[in-house]
Amino acid sequence: MKLPKQRSLFPELSGDLSPPKPVNVACIPQRSPFRYPGGKTWFVPTFRDWAANHYPEPKILIEPFAGGGIISLTALFENLVSRVVMVEIDEDIAAVWQSVVDGHAEWIANKILSFDLTKESVVAEITKSNVDTREKAFHTILKNRTFHGGILAEGSGFLKYGENGKGIKSRWYPTTLAKRFFNLKHVADRISFHKEDGLKVIQRYSQHRDVIFFIDPPYTAGGKRAGKRLYRHFTLDHEQLFTLCESIKGDFLMTYDNTDEAKSMARNHRFQMRLIPMKNTHHATMEELVIGRDLSWMDRYPAVHEPLTEYNIVCKKERVPKKCSSGQSKPRH
């Protein structure tokens, strides 16, 4: 396995000061049919490294907040585990995973291939009522591919200009999408899907030792972040999630926005944290927080530290504020 080049632990001594680069997601096989807000394609190399080298060898991966499910699908297609348990509470997204598990992936693929997409045809299709689960799944894919940012939450609307001004069609790649569904057919019997509260499923499997969890909750810790705009279900008892993680007998990896609230919960529960660079949907480089019980294996990766923050010290004698940088001693996270 090709690992990212390790950087010196003391870059200031070796002159190696280039910041670690985010993963180039174009190099990662895109197996999910979703274009998912908060999708974790950029996390795939780190997840692979963790799962492939995990001892004892994990049998089951549980994804309690599955969304577009890229991590579960990677684990299946790359045989990193024998089974996955995917959980999602949103009924539109749940319809897709349920249909795949029920053997309708090929039906959805053919539906995609035969659909003549215009704004009118999409509106006519998604406003049909009394549809069954696989039709609802097809509607979800249509909405996910034609709504701004792939966002299904209330308040989302059709893509106006899209890629290169192609408007509503700019994210509709019928052959590629159909191929992803045809491929899903081959792993469907290794997926268990639950439309349920992810916290309940964590609790149910918490005492199993051969299970690993990839936990990617909606980011609303601190009450302010993007999760509220992106997902229909964004409220979560984050403190309960951290408490449940403590009870896990297997192992877990959790990703969060790099916020003070998330870091403080991780510290209170005595978990370790690392920062990892990623590019957001606007191509800006940001850091996300990885939380786990023992993340020492991540120390082989280029280190990312919290940005330096400035603070003021008032010197008693002079009463003159002096600007200092917290970077003078290495920040810990």
Pairing label, strands 251-257, 285-292: antiparallel
Between residues 13 and 147, which has the closer beta carbon with respect to ligand SAM? 147
Taking the complex as a whole, the smallest distance from the CB of residue 89 to ligand SAM amounts, in Å, to 4
Residue 229 CB neighbours (<10 A): 14
Cβ 273 to ligand SAM shortest distance, Å: 18
β-pairing, 211-215 with 83-87?
Answer: unpaired
| Cα dist from 59 to 6, 44, 62, whole Å | 30, 18, 10
In angstroms, give the least distance from the CB of 34 to ligand SAM: 6
- Contacts of residue 77, Cβ cutoff 8 Å, sequence gap at least 6: 29, 31, 183, 187
Under 8 Å between Cβ of 73 and 187: yes
Nearer to ligand SAM, 212 or 236 (CB): 236
Q: Closer CB to ligand SAM, residue 7 or residue 229?
A: 229
Closest CA to 269 of 296, 288, 300, 248: 248
Residue among 149 and 311 whose Cβ is closer to ligand SAM: 149
Q: Which residue is nearest to ligand SAM (CB)?
A: 67
Binding site residues, ligand SAM, CB under 6 A: 36, 38-40, 64-65, 67-68, 70, 87-90, 93, 197-199, 216-218, 231, 233, 236
| Smallest distance, ligand SAM to C-beta of residue 271, A | 19
Which CB sits closer to ligand SAM, 172 or 231?
231
Cβ closer to ligand SAM: 225 or 263?
Answer: 225
Q: How far is the CB of 327 from ligand SAM (least distance, A)?
A: 31
CB of 195 to ligand SAM, least distance (A): 8
- Quickly tell me which residue has 């510290």 as its tokens: 267
Residue partners of 12: CB distance under 8 A and separation at least 6 = none
Specify the residue, 7 or 196, whose C-beta has the smaller distance to ligand SAM: 196
Q: In this structure, what token pair is assigned to residue 56?
A: 């004892």
The smaller minimum CB distance to ligand SAM, of residues 125 and 196, is found at 196
Provide the minimum distance between the beta carbon of 90 and ligand SAM in the complex, in angstroms, as a whole number: 4
Report in angstroms how near the CB of residue 7 gets to ligand SAM at its nearest: 27
Neighbouring C-beta atoms of residue 107, cutoff 10 Å: 16
| Residues 221 and 261 sit within 8 Å (Cβ to Cβ) | yes
Whether 272 and 253 have beta carbons less than 8 Å apart is answered as no
Residues 62, 91, 168: CA angle, nearest 5 degrees: 110
Q: Which residue has the tokens 């990885």?
A: 290
